Amino acid sequence: MIPAAFEYRRAGSVEDAVAILAEAGDDAKLLAGGHSLLPLMKLRLARPSVLVDIGRIDGLRAIEERGGRLAIGALARHHDLATSALLRDRCPLLAHAAGLVGDPQVRHRGTLGGSVVHADPASDLCAVLRCLDAELVVRGPGGERRLPVADAFRGFLETALDPGEVLVEVLVPMPAAGHGWSYQKFTRRALDWAIVGVAAVVEPADGGIGRAAVGLVSMGPTPLRAAAVEDALRGAPRSAVPAAAELAADGTEPSADIHAEQDFRRHLSRVLTRRALEQALSRC
């Protein structure tokens, strides 16, 4: 498993990385934890001519509360998220889901930023960030801009970031106090990607449901929200969950592969959405 030849550059700062990207052109790739990119390179499915290593840039690994939001550095490891006291307290869905990514080795190397820009529809964290209405902070030659996660995923393994941009931070709105949450990851093996995964956040209101957010893993070429389910539950009683969950696959075009046919994925999304909502409600 030897990758094709490439040039290795180490960036000392975000500005440095942006400058190297500008110089190296479209064929350059950022290297952070490397747990998506390096396997693709070893299989020679990816062959960037330049690797820009941002893994040692200081200050991109913090997890903190800022202005009523959670600010997570792009280089925060999955393990950092899973074990962050702040996240476990204020956004347990994200901490829990991060603890289910891959295996311990992957969680100690893989980064949140890497997961986001890889934009794998099978990514646990991409769908969870969709569910949480997160926002990306990216820096490029033109300076810094913010990009809602809702607009970030353009297609299979494709984001709205320009090739010259670097993701530096992920901002997550603080979930409302008293919210319930769940992440249902359905896999064959502990270390597998989800065949289907469902993330749910429920905010209760008046004994019923105020609003619900549902993120879907592996239900299409990008991480998705189950809009029909959310619409059906806005201001609805708890008893509306089973019927609403039946809408989980509406409008989705999940792929078929060796693990699941398309109709099985659709079925799983309905079952897992119901279970996620029921568990989230039980935690309200």
Chain residues binding another protein by CB under 8 A are 1-2, 4-5, 43-44, 186, 188-193, 195, 258-261, 264, 267-268, 271-272
- CB of residue 47 to another protein, shortest distance in Å: 10
Comparing CB distances to another protein, the nearer of 264 and 284 is: 264
> Residue 15 is encoded by which pair of tokens?
């500005």
| Residue 206 exposed, middle or buried by CB count within 10 Å (0-12, 13-18, 19+) | exposed
Q: Of 6, 21, 284, give the one whose Cα is nearest residue 162.
A: 21
End-to-end CA separation in angstroms for the chain: 48
- CB of residue 108 to another protein, shortest distance in Å: 17
User: Is-contact 136 144, C-beta < 8 A?
Assistant: no
> Residue 51 is encoded by which pair of tokens?
């690797």
**Residue 10: HSE in the Cβ half-sphere, 13 Å Cα cutoff:** 5
Comparing CB distances to another protein, the nearer of 44 and 66 is: 44
Comparing CB distances to another protein, the nearer of 80 and 120 is: 120
- The sign one gets for the Cα dihedral 230, 69, 167, 139 is positive
- CB of residue 107 to another protein, shortest distance in Å: 14
Comparing CB distances to another protein, the nearer of 61 and 275 is: 275
- CB of residue 82 to another protein, shortest distance in Å: 16
Comparing CB distances to another protein, the nearer of 157 and 271 is: 271
- CB of residue 3 to another protein, shortest distance in Å: 9
The position carrying tokens 């806005």 is: 234
What is the distance between the alpha carbons of residues 182 and 52, in angstroms, rounded to a whole number? 36
- CB of residue 186 to another protein, shortest distance in Å: 6
Comparing CB distances to another protein, the nearer of 62 and 191 is: 191
- CB of residue 63 to another protein, shortest distance in Å: 27
Strands of 103-195, DSSP E: 135-140, 143-148, 153-155, 158-159, 166-173, 180-186
Comparing CB distances to another protein, the nearer of 104 and 251 is: 104
What is the distance between the alpha carbons of residues 92 and 128, in angstroms, rounded to a whole number? 11
How open is the CA angle 222-223-228, to the nearest 5 degrees?
110
